[in-house]
Chains A and B, each alone.
Chain A
Amino acid sequence: MNVFYRLVFLLSVLLAGPAIAATNTYEFSSPDEEERFKQLTEELRCLVCQNQSLADSNAGLADDLRNEVYDMVREGGDKGEIVDFLVQRYGDFVLYRPPVKSSTAFLWFGPFLFLLVAGILVLRFVRNRPKKVAELEFSEADKQRVAEALRAAEQEKGAR
């Protein structure tokens, strides 16, 4: 039981991380505003600690950018405007969902290319196989040998 409680404690500590991550508390005049703010800060990337979103990061810059996003949301800026504001300054890098354009084409379509190549290879492999199985044909002599072996096995059984 002791172990169980320890595990529960450990788990709760681990899960508490995200709850304490965002430092400021923000007040909104409508649930819609709050939703927009949440969506934006979760979709935008912190440039300092690059594997965290603006919502998660404790970095000073993330805090500044959260405030910036908050101000823009309060002033009624829509998602596109706010995202553009950040992209103009920091580039596509701030987006967790990069736009489809020539420089990101490989990123978007590369996996399908690999899938296609892999598919062709598998197809070729599979097509080549049955031929070899078909080549294995039983001749009359083979059939006789099998029959003999079976008869011998039968006799051995009877002898026991």
Chain B
Amino acid sequence: MGRYLIPLGVFLLLAVFLGVGLKLDPKKVPSPLVGKPAPEFKLARLREAQSTISHEDFKGKVSLLNVWATWCVSCRAEHGVLMELARADVVEIYGLNYKDVREDALRWLARYGDPYVDSAFDPDGRVGIDWGVYGTPETFVIDTDGIIRYKHIGPISAQDLQETILPLINELKSKRG
């Protein structure tokens, strides 16, 4: 009897490995920045080009940093969700306009709405590299101490928001009090 169990065991082991492999998305690379302070940066604002915005702006509240660009198709897809979230007024959403043209970005926000409390402008993507950005859209959840708690890769769906991001925001908010 035992000898028939061996091939069966081998098959089950293989099936488990292949099954796990199917579930993994190679496009989602875990960020080493989670649990670490937000990388330092200082960039011109998208709207008021003379003034600057920096990592210091995240301190003292829970915030999101959304990396986006007008050339990014899936950014358009998540835009509605971000607008929805901005209207709910539960968290401050910051924008990082990545490798884009200022006029295009401003036109885009005028047309589809601006969910961001403030936007940084990173035309050459240097700050993007410091944040480990490799594809837009990406969204970071930053806690009151300026520590990155979560990174979402790809467009945020309503489901992602409900099941992952909002509970995390609430948890981080309650910690403060």
Contact = CB atoms under 8 A, between A and B. Distances in A.
Interface of A: 47-48, 50, 60-61, 64-65, 68, 87-93, 121
B104 interface: no
Contact of A48 (B30, B39, B124, B135): B135
B129 A64 contact: yes
Contact of A89 (B26, B132, B135): B132
Give the size category of B's interface with A: 20 to 34
22 contacts: A48-B134, A60-B99, A61-B125, A61-B134, A64-B124, A64-B125, A64-B128, A64-B129, A65-B129, A87-B32, A88-B32, A89-B32, A89-B129, A89-B130, A89-B131, A90-B31, A90-B32, A90-B134, A91-B30, A91-B32, A93-B30, A121-B6
B74 to A, nearest CB: 14
- Overall SS of chain B's interface: loop
Contacts of B32: 87-92
B97 to A, nearest CB: 15
Interface in B78-114: 99
Contacts of B134: 47-48, 61, 90
